[in-house]
């Protein structure tokens, strides 16, 4: 049986989750964006927001949609199948190269 639940989370929580899912420390995206680690901490704790350019770069580097990060009405969707749970968390699909 598949069960679907909506879970609302903040921009900062979504950002932190996406960063961890990408296997990055706070220092790594900070270095890539030329901002301080404290800026990443501030964004992840919902005490500030990145500017548009940093937001675009975060989206690309973390493989998540910008609308997913920003829109509070877009929530993670949890799916349960038996004892397993899955979360649709706004990850961008990767297009595979069809040439071999």
* Residue 81, domain CATH: 1.10.260.40
Work out the average pLDDT over 59-66.
92
Tell me if 100 is assigned to some domain. Answer: no
Among candidate residues 81, 82, 76, the one with its CA nearest the CA of residue 16: 76
Cα separation of 95 and 77, whole Å?
A: 22
Please tell me the predicted confidence (pLDDT) of residue 46. 96
Cα separation of 24 and 4, whole Å?
A: 29
Work out the average pLDDT over 69-98.
58
Residue 97 CB: number of other CB atoms within 10 A? 5
Q: Is the pLDDT of residue 82 over 90?
A: no
Q: Is the pLDDT of residue 72 over 90?
A: no
Tell me if 55 is assigned to some domain. Answer: yes
Q: Is the pLDDT of residue 68 over 80?
A: yes
**For the chain, how many structural domains are there in total?**
1
Tell me if 94 is assigned to some domain. Answer: no
Domain that holds residue 60: 2-88
Please tell me the predicted confidence (pLDDT) of residue 60. 94
Please tell me the predicted confidence (pLDDT) of residue 93. 47
pTM greater than 0.75? no
């Amino acid at each position: 049986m598949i069960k679907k639940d909506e879970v609302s989370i903040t921009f900062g929580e979504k950002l932190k989750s996406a960063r961890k899912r990408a296997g990055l420390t706070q220092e790594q995206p900070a270095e890539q964006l030329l901002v301080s680690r404290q800026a990443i901490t501030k964004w992840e704790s919902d005490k500030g927001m990145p500017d548009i350019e940093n937001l675009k770069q975060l989206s690309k580097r973390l493989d998540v949609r910008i609308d997913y990060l920003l829109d509070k009405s877009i929530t993670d969707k949890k799916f349960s199948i038996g004892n397993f749970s899955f979360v649709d968390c706004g990850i961008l699909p990767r297009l595979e190269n069809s040439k071999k």
